[in-house]
Structure 1
Amino acid sequence: MYTNFNFGPGGTWGFPLIWNDFHDEVDNYKTAHDSYNVYVNNDYVGKKVLVAQGERVEDIKSFLNTQGFTEFSSEIVGNAFNIVCDEDAKEHIKEAVEVYIHNR
């Protein structure tokens, strides 16, 4: 499809009209800025960059469960992911989250 523009006496230029028919598919791809600041009891642990298609920041919870941690909750606010736990478990969970962030 071409759109014609008249640029002065006797001049007509044709420009192709281009649009994105694949906008729904493009929205599902990861972008370079998909990352979360991760906290444990509001203490900053690190930044988790989501690299793989389908990867979610909530995957940290599954990892913690496989490490034997079950008594915690989490919340996402904007690009912040906060894990809330007892103060007794805080340092152990922080160490596990650091390992997860740096290895995955």
Structure 2
Amino acid sequence: MPEPYPFFNQGEEMKNAHTYNVYVNDDYVGNKILFSQCEKIEDLSDYLNSKGFYNFQAEAEGDHYHLQMTEQDQGEVVKDELHSYLRLN
């Protein structure tokens, strides 16, 4: 059986990692993996704020993180931004 993340060391970091499924306006965007205890899923909202996006509501529900855009026309732009961010992080 192949390793789920072959490019990661399967040490303590992976044992303690937590994954959230991220949604924007109910559309799945990708996964955010939290590798350390100092990381939190709300950091994703902080990232969007740093990129100039403020008009959204965010809610963590189990292993899902939902972002609902107040201005629907920004939804696609935020999805594109998060696709890139989640691939790199």
TM-score using structure 2 length: 0.76
More helix by share: 2
Unaligned runs of 5+ in 1: 1-28
1:83 aligns with 2:67: yes
Q: Structure 2: which 5+ residue stretches go unaligned?
A: 1-12
| 1:57-87 alpha-carbon deviations (Å, 9 max, x no partner) | 1111011011010111101111000000021
Secondary structure of the 1:65 match is helix
User: Which of the pair has more CA radius of gyration?
Assistant: 1
Q: Find out whether 1:74 has 2:58 as its counterpart.
A: yes
What SS class does the counterpart of residue 44 from structure 1 fall into? strand
Tell me the number of residue pairs that the alignment of Structure 1 and Structure 2 aligns: 76
Give the TM-score normalised by structure 1: 0.66
SS at structure 2 position matched to 1:36:
strand
After TM superposition, give the deviation of residue 30 of structure 1 in Å.
Answer: 7.0
**Identical-residue share of aligned pairs (%):** 36
My pick for the range that moved more, 66-75 or 92-101, is 92-101
Q: Which amino acid aligns with 1:38?
A: V
